[in-house]
Amino acid sequence: MRVRAIGPSGGFTLIEMAVALLVIGLILSGMLVPLVSQVEQRQVSDTEKTLEEAREALIGHAVANGYLPCPDKTGGGGAGTANDGVEDVNAGACVVTEGNLPWVTLGTGRTDAWGNRLHYEVVATFAQRPTAFTLATAGNLRVCINSGCAGANLLTDTAVVVLFSHGKNGYGAINAATGTANPAPTSADEADNTDGGTRFIFRPITAPGSSAGEFDDIVTWISRYTLANRLVAAGKLP
């Protein structure tokens, strides 16, 4: 059997090898980008599911007890322990009205898909014990499409709960592994969600460098009417 010798005309040149590697790289990168997008979308979907389960648990807590739970504080003094997942209450009132979702109290998921605590704010009157609100009591938490928060940009101004994940970038969240705060948000809309105020932004995700500013918070809320409906149906109100 003759063995063909590989000479100058029998093998690949360096240029041909470079072109082949470039083509392979392009093919692999083309496959990788959709895969990364699928993973990110799955993380968003998983977090939305966790938020919906937490939202239902909050309503269930109100149905069972007649009031919403208080947040788990993220730091500071006073009654309770920070970042332990247990609601912090003192003399029937919340120690703080904004902090972590009290996942131990509710028996829900601990974190979002990126390993950060879920952010929870409640109107104090709706978490007072004994029950201090009626069908006529309004919430004061506003959810808006942008910081203008007026007209068509205003989604609600009477929410009693706002609950959200700080998204993939995690800016402003409490990291579950360390119990410490992540870096602060760098965009105005994400900063609105962590400034301790009553205005929250709910809008589509936009990447860093976007003209609208980076935004990947995933926000949900409970309106006063949703809560009232469930409590009336359960015979807790009026």
pLDDT tens sequence across 12-55 = 677 877 777 777 777 766 666 566 778 888 999 999 999 999 99
Pick from 125, 123, 142: which is nearest to 134 by CA? Answer: 125
What value does the mean pLDDT of the chain take? 90
Angle between the N-to-C axes of helices 14-65 and 224-233, in degrees from 0 to 180, rounded to the nearest 10? 50
Residue 3's pLDDT is what?
46
CA distance 178 to 206: 27
Q: Which of 18-32, 81-95, 121-135, 180-194 has the lowest mean pLDDT?
A: 18-32
Residue 5's pLDDT is what?
47
In this predicted structure, the answer to whether residue 163 has a pLDDT above a threshold of 70 is: yes
Entry pTM: 0.83
Question: Token pair for residue 63?
Answer: 């149905």
All residues at 6 or more sequence positions from 214 whose CB lies less than 8 Å from its CB, including other chains: 169, 186, 187, 190, 206, 207, 208
Residue 236, CA distances (Å) to 3, 64, 89, 126, 228 in order: 91, 9, 22, 13, 9
Residue 28's pLDDT is what?
67
Q: Which tens digits make up the pLDDT trace of 85-124?
A: 999 999 999 999 999 999 999 999 999 999 999 999 999 9
All residues at 6 or more sequence positions from 117 whose CB lies less than 8 Å from its CB, including other chains: 74, 83, 100, 101, 110, 111, 173, 174, 175, 176
126 pLDDT band (50/70/90 cuts)? very high
Q: 26 versus 185: which is more confidently predicted?
A: 185
Residue 13's pLDDT is what?
78
Question: Token pair for residue 81?
Answer: 């322990």
Q: 52 versus 211: which is more confidently predicted?
A: 52
- Count of beta carbons in the 10 Å neighbourhood of residue 85: 18
| Mean pLDDT, residues 163-171 taken together | 97
CA distance 146 to 87: 30
Residue 33's pLDDT is what?
59
